[in-house]
Structures are given as structure tokens and as C-alpha cells.
Amino acid sequence: MKNMGLIKLNSLKLLMIIFLFIMSPVSTIANIKCWTNEQDIKECGDRIPAKYAQGASEEFSDSGVLLKKNPKAKEIDQINQDQKKASLQANREKADQLLLNMFSNVTEIESARDKKIEQINQEIKLIESRVQKLLENQTKIRSVLEKANPNNQGRIKRLENDLLTTENQIEQSNQFIKEKEKHRTTISDKYAKDSKRFIKLKAIR
């Protein structure tokens, strides 16, 4: 493809230049691209120079029909940001409506919070009870291991494996308790925010 070069023009002469492109031997080029240089002068050619690629541009067919307008790269970023903000706002509105549909007052929100926290507390108690039994079993295994006949290496090996398994179970259980406690804090914070948001929504409606 031959390079048509750059043509500087005023906006009033744009259509005339496009017409010349159409009538010229290089009219075999599919699209004509126009942009504005640093002197605020419009230029056209078969391709946009790299230094103007981030700026606004227009694209015309070989018959002079405007095909599309390309905004500045910064404008595209702004459009994306606006779309993201609009999406967040829509999600916020849905969450607000759901909150109002689920609860009639703050007391109901607090009651729902307390039920979930109580459920987590019961789960933690069960795990703590299991840990206590594991600790007792650990003590027994250690006691038997200390009294084991050193010549009975097979039994000693089994006891050591049992001790290692018990220690791993204790560690996993304690980690699970920490995760449950973290989840309990998250639940409490969430319902605190819901209560605050509910009060605000009721005040403006």
C-alpha cells in the first residue's frame, strides 16, 4: 500500500480534501484517517502517526462517509471509570433495596447478627472440645512412648506416628478455630455496617 503522506487542512476544507482523496489515484486505500496535530491543524492520511495515536481521530470511507470517531485515550479511560462507577452505584442500590426488603427495623438486623454469631460460637466450642481430647490423647501417647521397651522398635515407631498425627490434628483444629473467630468478627462488622446503612436509608425515605 502506498503512503498517501500527511495533508494539513482546516476543518472547513476537510470535505474538499476527502473529495480529492476519492478522485486521486490512491483512492484504492480503504479508509482515510484524520487527526489534529500539535498546532491544532487537522491532517489526514492512510495511517495515524505514532505520536498522535493517543489523540482523537476520525475515520472516513473511500467515498467520504464518516465511519467512526475515536476519542482520546484519556477520554476512553474516563468512559471506563464512569462505567465502573455506574456499575458500583447500581450494585449499591440493589444492596440497599435488599436490605430494606429483608428487615423492618434495626432490632431485626441485630437479631440476625446474634443468631449467626451464636452458630459460630457453637462451632468453636465443638472444635475446642475436640482439641481438649486430642491434647489428652497426646499426653497418653507420650507417657506410653516414654515407658516403651527400647528393643520394641516397631511399637515405638507406631507410637511416634500416632503422636505426629495427633499433633497435626491439634494444629489444624487450632487453625480452624482462628478462622472461625475471624469469620465471627467479619459477620459482626458486616451487620454493624448494615445497621448504620439501614438507619441512613430510613432517614432519607
pLDDT of residue 32: 87
pTM greater than 0.85 (yes/no): no
pLDDT of residue 23: 54
From 4-18, 129-143, 168-182, the region with the lowest mean pLDDT: 4-18
pLDDT of residue 174: 96
DSSP letters along 6-73, please?
-EEE-GGGHHHHHHHHHHSGGGGSSEEEEEE-TTS-EEEESS--GGGTTS-EEEEETTS-EEEEE--H
Q: What is the pLDDT of residues 77-126, one digit of tens each?
A: 677 788 888 888 899 999 999 999 999 999 999 999 999 999 999 999 99
* 148: β partners: none
Q: What is the pLDDT of residues 36-69, one digit of tens each?
A: 888 888 888 888 888 888 888 888 887 778 888 8
Confidence of residue 73 (pLDDT cuts 50, 70, 90): low
Q: Between 129 and 11, whose confidence is greater?
A: 129
Average pLDDT over residues 187-204: 94
* 61: β partners: 31
For residues 125 and 130, give the distance between their C-alpha atoms in angstroms, rounded to a whole number.
9
